Amino acid sequence: MKGVESMSEEILRNDEPTLAGNFIHDAIDKDLEEGVYSRVQTRFPPEPNGYLHIGHAKAITIDFETAKKYGGTCNLRFDDTNPTKEEVEYVDSIMEDIKWLGFQWNNVYYASDYFDFIFECAVKLIKKGKAFVCELTPEQMREYRGTLKQGGKESPYRNRSIEENLDLFMRMKNGEFPDGSMVLRAKIDMSSPNLNMRDPIIYRIMRATHHRTGDKWCIYPMYDFAHPLSDACENVTHSLCTLEFEDHRPLYDWFVNELIDGEKPRQIEFARLNLNYCLTSKRKCLKLVNDSYVSGWDDPRMATLCGMRRRGYPAAAVRTFVEKIGVAKANSVIDYALLESCVRDNLNFNAERAMAVLRPLKVVIDNYPEGKTEEIFVDINPNKPELGKRRLVFSRNIYIEQDDFMEEPIKKYFRLFPNNEVRLKGAYFVKCVGFDKDENGNITCVHCTYDETTKGGDSPDGRKVKGTLHWVSADDCIKAEVRLYDRLFSNENPSDESGGEYTVNLNPNSLEVLENCLIEGGLKDTKVGDTFQFLRQGYFCVDKDSTDDKIVFNRTVALKDSFVKQTKA
Ligand code: ATP
Ligand code: MG
């Protein structure tokens, strides 16, 4: 992973701001003041069932920055209680993405490490008369559960004796019953207005090989049961999660109060990050990958962290973005343009400059001697003079952008057209004196003359030109492929399934591949992940598909905001 390393170098954690004061920190301050806790411990608890996305960057930042602010610890815990959906590939990618973002956990834990403890907790609940084995079918269970308006009905199995429940639960564990034939439920309150409290399932029978525990278990705890117990096992103080778990908090507290002695963890919820035009659901991202709508989890159009990394988004820009959106208690949708502006600001400062001609048009400088070349030295990055200069080569044959020439200029066109003079960036003034066409009327070559006195790009007689073009020399350029990306979805809310499946919202023009681009020769030794500002074009980074024969670039972001916000009537 050469690319990852090269991009992580600019990550300097300590001089960056931490998340400014927010309601979570206010709550923690109060807890510390009142002596509820004397320390702070958080965790980031992903389920290893997919790659992390930009929403997770928010959760990661909150979890790690909160611990850091209070001099506490933050662990990485894989909530791996659902073996049919989980894989080692996802575990590895999650670790890589967190590191890339610039965070380091204290310890790595797995909920599966606690399966014995969680099992014992279930036994304890049964012994307290607070859990029972239920044999209702899923349909019956749904029916008995009631609705938001209507209370539920108690299961006919609810009043089994403790002995019978213990016996059945052991036999569930020993594999005596088929998958799905029975479950263990907490005995709480079928009339609770909170549906989560209506005797929730805490264990199910599922013969599935777990990526860590193998075939040791044929029963697995439900997330709502495993999560608070895992937090407690690790001595987490503040269990920070997204708002959809707010209604689960009473259940979290119930389990912790019933089963944990001493200090108990506390759950605090914050708003999910939603970005317009982006899909941030692992399940839906997986479908895009499996059905080949994208090239993989790291397709540069994906809102995954590995996709953004491959596209050239610097980790620091993602952190700045999370900083800017802040920590709120209410859900909202953030404009993708904000993320892009963070990326652009970062790259404007950090990216080396280069010239690339994406759609080449040949130009011959008729009065420039054949065979002659000269070197020109220009800034690598005007923001970082310490980096020095890069070398360009000027010669008789060069290439410019097809767009930069018009046979008959439209109004306010200041680029090259017959008899007009423009500046070639860093080189000379050139004036168009003619052009060649092929039999189809396409322009194949433009002829210019250059003014020897304008070397460096200024005229000693004070003559001004209105256009400055980027160019590459035919004697010192290399071929490259450039991939231009547009947003993956054309619908602001891609999850919108009113038009059928959400895949109908895919933007058919989200990828344009330009195979015959020409870039300045100095770029021949770039490595995967290197980012550049291509003059007048935007920011680009070297893709992992590059070979010795051809460098492939991704357009990270255009120079200006092309992400026009749709205004509603
Ligand atoms: P997905 O629906 O994509 O699978 P998830 O919530 O199931 O997301 P987890 O792996 O369970 O994914 O999430 C780990 C942590 O990241 C949780 O604490 C969760 O609250 C948080 N998280 C997930 N999505 C977002 C988001 N869009 N914004 C902020 N935090 C998020
Ligand atoms: Mg989840």
pLDDT (0 to 100) of residue 41: 98
59-100: pLDDT as tens digits: 999 999 999 999 999 999 999 999 999 999 999 999 999 999
**pLDDT tens, position by position, 96-107:** 999 999 999 999
Q: In order of start, what are the domains of the chain with their CATH numbers? A: 4-111+226-273 (3.40.50.620), 115-224 (3.90.800.10), 353-475 (2.40.240.10)
Distance (Å) from CA 206 to ligand 2 centroid: 19
| CB-CB contact of 502 with 495 (8 Å) | yes
How far is C-alpha 466 from the chain's CA centre? Answer: 40
CA atoms within 13 Å, Cβ hemisphere of 9: 9
Residue 479 φ/ψ, nearest 5 degrees: -80, 145
Span 248-278, pLDDT tens digits: 999 999 999 999 999 999 999 999 999 999 9
Distance 244 CA to ligand 1 centre (A): 10
Ligand 1: residue of 44, 49, 56, 322 to mutate (most ligand atoms within 8 A of CB) is: 56
Per-chain residues with Cβ under 5 A from ion ligand 2 = 47
Ligand 1 atom with the shortest distance to the CA of 46: 10
* Residue 245 pLDDT greater than 90, yes or no: yes
Q: What is the pLDDT of residue 18?
A: 53
What is the CB < 6 Å shell around ligand 1?
45-47, 55-56, 58-59, 241-242, 272-273, 280-282
Residue whose CA is at the smallest distance from ligand 1 atom 27? 55
Dump pLDDT digits (tens) for 148-182.
999 999 999 999 999 999 999 999 999 999 999 99
Ligand with minimal distance to 334 CA: 1
Residue 246 is predicted with a pLDDT of: 96
Summarize pLDDT for 109-143 with one digit per residue, the tens: 999 999 999 999 999 999 999 999 999 999 999 99
- pTM confidence score: 0.92
The stretch 447-476 carries a mean pLDDT of 94
For ligand 1, atom 25, the nearest C-alpha belongs to 55
Please tell me what DSSP assigns to residue 508: T
Residue 568 pLDDT > 70: no
Query: Mean pLDDT throughout 326-355?
Result: 93
CA 85, CA 557: separation in Å to the nearest integer? 34
Please give the backbone phi and psi of residue 101, each rounded to the nearest 5 degrees, phi first. -65, -20
| Contact partners, residue 194, CB within 8 Å, separation at least 6 | 247, 250, 251
For ligand 1, atom 2, name the residue with the nearest CA.
281
Query: Which of 47, 238, 242 has the most ligand 1 atoms within 8 A of CB, as the residue to mutate?
Result: 242
Neighbour-count burial of 285, counting CB atoms closer than 10 A to its CB (0-12 exposed, 13-18 middle, 19+ buried): buried
Which ligand neighbours the alpha carbon of 241 most closely? 1
**Is the model's pLDDT at 566 over the cut of 50?**
no
Q: Which atom of ligand 1 sits closest to the CA of residue 60?
A: 16
* Distance of CA 46 from the midpoint of ligand 2 (Å): 7
Residue nearest ligand 1's atom 26 by CA: 55
pLDDT recorded at residue 498: 75
Residue nearest to atom 9 of ligand 1 (CA): 46
In this prediction, what percent of the chain has a pLDDT beyond 70?
Answer: 95
Query: Does the structure show a pLDDT above 70 at 569?
Result: no
Atom of ligand 1 minimally distant from the CA of 240: 18
Residue 495's pLDDT is what?
A: 83
Closest ligand 1 atom to residue 48 Cα is 10
Mean pLDDT, the chain, rounded, equals 93
Active site amino acids:
47, 272, 282
Quick: pLDDT tens for 470-498.
Answer: 999 999 999 999 999 999 999 998 887 77
**Beta-bridge partner residues of 268:** 240
Q: Which atom of ligand 1 is nearest to the CA of 47?
A: 10
Cα(36) to centroid of ligand 2, in Å?
28
Q: How far is the CA of 429 from the centre of ligand 1 (A)?
A: 55
- Using CA atoms, how far apart are residues 82 and 211, in angstroms rounded to an integer? 10
In angstroms, what is the span from residue 192 Cα to ligand 2's centroid? Answer: 24
Whose alpha carbon is nearest atom 30 of ligand 1?
59
Q: How far is the CA of 170 from the centre of ligand 1 (A)?
A: 33
Q: Which ligand is the nearest neighbour of the Cα of 93?
A: 1
**Residue 438, phi-psi category: left (phi > 0), alpha (psi -120 to 50), beta (remainder):** beta
Q: What is the pLDDT of residues 1-50, one digit of tens each?
A: 333 333 333 333 334 445 777 899 999 999 999 999 999 999 999 999 99
Q: Which residue's CA is minimally distant from atom 4 of ligand 1?
A: 282
